[in-house]
Amino acid sequence: MVIDIKKLKSSGKSECSFHFECELQSDVITLPDAEFSKPVSVTGRLTLSGKTVIVEGEIEYVLSAHCSRCLTETEYRAVVEFDEEYSEDKEDVDAYIYSKGLVDLTEMVREKVILSMPYSVYCKEDCKGLCPVCGINLNEAQCDCNK
């Protein structure tokens, strides 16, 4: 996920759009028993702004996970917006750093994905979960434990 702004500058432009499909390492997934079910998609626009570079757009990912209540396999889709600045000045604490005219989005995307990770996912809003006594899936069947 590297954008070469030297090329952009030499073509006389001050902005470009970008789209990446990337495989992120699974260490960004904090939800138990979940994995990306397709590559993470990153779409946006880069603008040269004086000495800094602005990138804005959307990250989309889909997790194949297990419902936190009933453990059924379920899909979780997230769209995370970003609007960040990149600077060549290593002292600039508010911005991500780029060097040699190459803006690498990988670290920023990793951070956004980690921050947006859900603590729990549900197969449906009113999932009834599993019976704590017999373990039956209460969405699919009833038991006599609570009678």
Q: Which is nearer to Zn ion, 12 or 132 (CB)?
A: 132
Q: Which two tokens stand for residue 17?
A: 């759009």
Tokens of 60: 């989309």
Q: 17: closest CA among 76, 68, 57, 53?
A: 57
Cβ proximity to Zn ion: between 52 and 139 the closer is: 139
Residues at the interface with Zn ion (CB under 5 A) = 67, 69-70, 123, 127, 131, 133-134, 143, 145
Task: Tell me the C-alpha distance between 138 and 92, whole Å.
Answer: 54
Pairing status of strand 15-22 against strand 35-36:
unpaired
Comparison of 69 and 112: residue with beta carbon closer to Zn ion: 69
Residues 54 and 85 sit within 8 Å (Cβ to Cβ): yes
| Least CB distance to Zn ion at residue 28 (A) | 24
Q: How many other CB atoms are there within 10 angstroms of residue 70's CB atom?
A: 19
Is the Cβ of residue 10 or residue 120 nearer to Zn ion in the bound state?
120
Give the nearest distance from C-beta 29 to Zn ion in angstroms: 19
Task: Please state the closest distance from residue 126 (CB atom) to Zn ion, in A.
Answer: 9
Smallest distance from the beta carbon of 147 to Zn ion, in angstroms?
10
